[in-house]
Amino acid sequence: ALQVGIVGLPNVGKSTLFNAVSNSAKAQASNYRFCTIEPNVGLVDVPDTRLTKLEELVKPNRVVPTTIEFVDIAGLVKGASKGEGLGNKFLANIREVDAIVHVIRCFEDDNILREEGAINPMGDKGIIDTELQLKDLESVEKKIARTEKMAKTGGDPKAKREYEILKQCQEHLEQGRNIRELQLSKEDKVAIADLFLLTDKPVLYVANVDEASLLTGNKYSEALIEGVKSEGAQVIVMNNTIEAQISEMEDPADKELFLSEYGLTEPGLNRLIRSAYNLLELITYFTAGVQEVRAWTIHRGWKAPQAASVIHTDFEKGFIKAEVISYDDYVKYGSEAAAREAGRFRIEGKEYLVADGDVMHFRFNV
Whole-number minimum distance, CB 143 to ligand GDP, in Å?
32
User: Which residue type sits at 255?
Assistant: K
Burial of 230 (0-12, 13-18, 19+ CB in 10 A): exposed
Closer Cβ to ligand GDP, 107 or 327, answer by number: 107
Closer Cβ to ligand GDP, 80 or 166, answer by number: 80
Whole-number minimum distance, CB 10 to ligand GDP, in Å?
4
Closer Cβ to ligand GDP, 72 or 329, answer by number: 72
Whole-number minimum distance, CB 47 to ligand GDP, in Å?
22
Closer Cβ to ligand GDP, 19 or 67, answer by number: 19
- Report how far Cα 79 is from the mean position of its chain's Cα atoms: 26
Question: Is 16 among the annotated ligand-binding positions?
Answer: yes
Local structure of 342: helix, strand or coil: coil
Whole-number minimum distance, CB 14 to ligand GDP, in Å?
3
323 within 8 A of 308, measured Cβ to Cβ = no
Task: Tell me how far CA of residue 347 lies from CA of 89, 323, 331, 332, 363, in angstroms.
Answer: 50, 5, 19, 19, 10
Question: Is 11 among the annotated ligand-binding positions?
Answer: yes
Closer Cβ to ligand GDP, 173 or 264, answer by number: 264
Question: Interface with ligand GDP by CB under 6 A: which residues?
Answer: 8, 10-16, 74, 107, 109, 112, 208, 210, 239-241
Q: Which of 63, 114, 78 is nearest to 293 (CA)?
A: 63
Question: Is 103 among the annotated ligand-binding positions?
Answer: no
Using the Cα atoms of residue 123, residue 125, residue 126 and residue 130 in order, give the sign of their dihedral.
Answer: positive
Number of helical H runs and strand E runs in the chain: 14, 13
Question: Is 154 among the annotated ligand-binding positions?
Answer: no
Whole-number minimum distance, CB 72 to ligand GDP, in Å?
7
Can you tell me the distance from the alpha carbon of 240 to that of 74, in angstroms, rounded to the nearest whole number?
16
Question: Is 15 among the annotated ligand-binding positions?
Answer: yes
Binding site, by residue number, is 11-16
Binding site for ATP, by residue number, is 11-16
